[in-house]
């Protein structure tokens, strides 16, 4: 899954913005943030940076700004931050070898997010403050015409590699590619989330590994499991028949959803590289002409393991592992028109 931005610093900045949603305890106090100006919030961030234990200067300062708000905010806030650093007796330098302090400004559908990060004693120190967008009125701030609705469809101890909606319309239901009873299997679930059929992939000679890659596509006529070195076709007949052949897999690309109010499409992205930390689903306007527009973010209780578009092009299935309970969970993500 490719990140939104190509430059490493911008990718890291988006990660910090995601952290804001996951660790909401770092927000500015709601009772006072609505009365603050952007400069006030910049000063608040500088104060929090100055309070980082064992922080030493001089520091090499780098600013990262979301293109979506660059025109509206300008760079005055950067000068305010520099002056606040000096007021707190923290020297700044152009020396690239000095400790790096990255300061960024981004936008979410509801807030402006200011973040700062540096390393102190081999540890990352991150500070984040916010300003409600209602306190920073501007005509050109992009406002997403959609919102995310999330529904938990299934949870259980079996390790889930992928999920796919079924084709049977009003009956609903879905299929899971999972490690069930120590075998790689396809589980067919009804609309209530109950397993009513299990097909073991014995013919695939596939043994579960720590980090397998696999994809499941279920349709009325061509149900397929794609594995790193083979493709297996199957049907739901009893007994089910599984036929596998060696292939060089072509994995599915990023899922793009198209709600009725925005046919330009929204791309679903997630990091998924660290299985030990919660993940954030990024819903990003698709297309090069829309890059830099505000993304919608939805935090999950663990790493996102797969994203699979449904037959309904406004929805997708997202598989995650809940780090608190240990269960694997399947969510239905729907993009709904309106704020």
Q: What is the pLDDT of residue 339?
A: 61
Q: What is the pLDDT of residue 204?
A: 59
Do the beta carbons of residue 305 and residue 288 sit within 8 Å? no
Q: What is the pLDDT of residue 210?
A: 54
Q: Considering only CA atoms, give the Rg of the chain.
A: 23
Do the beta carbons of residue 314 and residue 260 sit within 8 Å? yes
Do the beta carbons of residue 27 and residue 291 sit within 8 Å? no
What tokens appear for 110 in the block? 């509801």
Do the beta carbons of residue 296 and residue 288 sit within 8 Å? no
The 3-class SS string of 95-123 reads CCCCCEEEEEEEECCCEEEEEEEEEECCE
Average pLDDT along the chain, 339 residues, taken 10 residues at a time:
41 47 38 60 90 89 74 72 90 88 81 85 83 59 68 94 78 86 88 87 62 80 85 83 88 88 82 78 70 69 91 89 95 85
The answer to whether the pTM exceeds 0.75 is no
Partners of 132 in the β-ladder: 111
CA distances from 25 to 6, 21, 45, 126, 322 (A): 29, 9, 15, 12, 20
**Short-list 226, 221, 182, CA closest to 204:** 226
Q: Where are the domains of the chain?
A: 8-135, 144-339
Do the beta carbons of residue 230 and residue 245 sit within 8 Å? yes
Do the beta carbons of residue 92 and residue 116 sit within 8 Å? no
């Amino acid at each position: 899954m490719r990140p939104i931005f190509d430059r490493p610093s911008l990718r890291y900045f988006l990660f910090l913005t995601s952290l804001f949603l996951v660790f909401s305890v770092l927000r500015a106090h709601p009772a006072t943030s609505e009365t603050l100006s952007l400069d006030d919030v910049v000063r608040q961030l500088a104060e929090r940076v100055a309070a980082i234990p064992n922080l030493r200067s001089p520091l090499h300062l780098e600013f990262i700004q979301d293109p979506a708000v660059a025109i509206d905010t300008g760079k005055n806030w950067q000068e305010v931050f520099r002056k606040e650093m000096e007021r707190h007796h923290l020297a700044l330098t152009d020396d690239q070898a000095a400790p790096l302090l990255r300061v960024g400004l981004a936008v979410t559908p509801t807030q402006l997010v200011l973040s700062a990060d540096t390393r102190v004693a081999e540890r990352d120190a991150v500070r984040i403050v916010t300003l409600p967008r209602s306190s920073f009125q501007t005509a050109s701030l992009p406002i997403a015409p959609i919102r995310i609705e999330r529904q938990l469809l299934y949870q259980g101890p079996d390790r889930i590699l992928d999920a796919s909606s079924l084709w049977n319309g009003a009956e609903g239901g879905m299929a899971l590619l999972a490690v069930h009873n120590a075998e790689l299997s396809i589980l067919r679930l009804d609309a209530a989330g109950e397993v009513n059929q299990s097909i073991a992939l014995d013919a695939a000679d596939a043994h579960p590994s720590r980090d397998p890659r696999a994809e499941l596509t279920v349709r009325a006529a061509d149900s397929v499991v794609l594995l790193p070195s083979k493709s297996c076709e199957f049907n739901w007949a009893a007994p089910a028949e599984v036929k596998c052949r060696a292939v060089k897999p072509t994995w599915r690309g990023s899922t793009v959803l198209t709600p009725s109010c925005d046919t330009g499409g929204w791309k679903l992205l997630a990091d998924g590289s660290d299985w030990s930390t919660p993940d954030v689903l990024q819903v990003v306007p698709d297309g090069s002409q829309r890059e830099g527009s505000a993304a919608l973010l939805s935090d999950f209780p663990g790493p996102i393991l797969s994203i699979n578009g449904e037959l309904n092009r406004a929805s997708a299935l997202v598989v995650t592992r809940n780090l608190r309970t240990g269960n694997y969970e399947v969510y239905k993500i729907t993009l709904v028109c309106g704020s």
